[in-house]
Structure 1
């Protein structure tokens, strides 16, 4: 069966209960999926670039708003 690592252990747990009527603990589903390398591939979160600004403009308004 070809899969693209779409479903995580939470989704699989819900599908087992909804479709097949099986009540399985989510930790057991996670353990089985981990042993078989079936876990969903989590995307890394984007980290904002915190640093110096690219350039500093001159104070044309002289802070007079």
Structure 2
């Protein structure tokens, strides 16, 4: 889904909202196709597709760890 944002504050709010909703499609749509993104541990992703895939993988890992109680 394509959304339009007028200010940096709106993009920042959308990032938080998409993250909290765990809506990975919305989150990925906040990036341009050839985006660069460095995550909190330093992994560097260089396309929107990579960003979406790695965020999905991280969410799955977090869900498994939560189920294991770690």
Task: Say whether the fold is shared (TM-score over 0.5).
Answer: no
Give the structure, 1 or 2, with the largest relative contact order (CA under 8 Å, sep 6 or more): 1
Higher helix share: 2
Q: Normalised by the size of structure 1, how large is the TM-score?
A: 0.31
Higher strand share: 2
Q: Normalised by the size of structure 2, how large is the TM-score?
A: 0.29
